[in-house]
Amino acid sequence: MLTREAYGSIPTDCLDGRREGYGARPEAGVLGTPAAPSVESMDLGGRGTMTVELVPVDERMLERLIVVAVTDAPADDVVPPLDDSGGWNERRLVWLRQYHRDCRAGLDGPAGQATFAVLDDGHVVGSVRLAVTAHPRELETGMWLARSARGRGIGADALTAVAAMARSRADAVVLWLTEDQEEARGALETVGADLGVPDADGILRATLRVAP
């Protein structure tokens, strides 16, 4: 799903909690759920020494994440369009819980994905995912942030943490966004991603190199 606020978020072909059509998977046993690093925010956006952490989504964290999503994020930024309502409803909440539960087995699990809550100075402010792709040394990521967390450098910090997390398994992390997502483009440029060239539909593939 591509929206103006959530870049590279859960794709619309992921309605059962797993991404279809990835083809070849990376070798099993290399990495399940990646270790979740934190990033000290010393120089990004004048944020002082606040810390962004990526934390695995267990049941307790899942409920915290859902509260933030429902109260401070558009449903279409977080969940694929399951119906025409455009807002939060019980069906979307059921889907979101099941999606994160299915991803707990990590990149070598049936879903081929791992999800993490984004914490800023201990407060839940969004979520990121990592997913396997058809390329053995490439992972895909996506992110959504609460409205109140946008424009503060948190997205760039979270991407930095994603890159550190992926380094043991991948040479690059990719994500998809539309060319009019200025805030997302800014975060990607901050961390040195290659934004590529938009296609005929205005969608571009961003590549973040993570190899040392």
**Domain spans of the chain, in order of start:** 38-209
CATH architecture, domain 38-209: 3-Layer(aba) Sandwich (3.40)
pLDDT tens, 122-165? 999 999 999 999 998 999 999 999 999 998 899 999 999 999 99
pTM of the prediction?
0.79
Ranges under pLDDT 50 in the chain: 1-5, 7, 9-31, 39-47
Distance CA 169, CA 209 (A): 12
Query: Which pLDDT belongs to residue 11?
Result: 43
pLDDT tens, 53-68? 999 999 999 999 999 9
Query: Which pLDDT belongs to residue 10?
Result: 45
Residue 166: its H or E element: helix 154-166
Query: Which pLDDT belongs to residue 42?
Result: 32
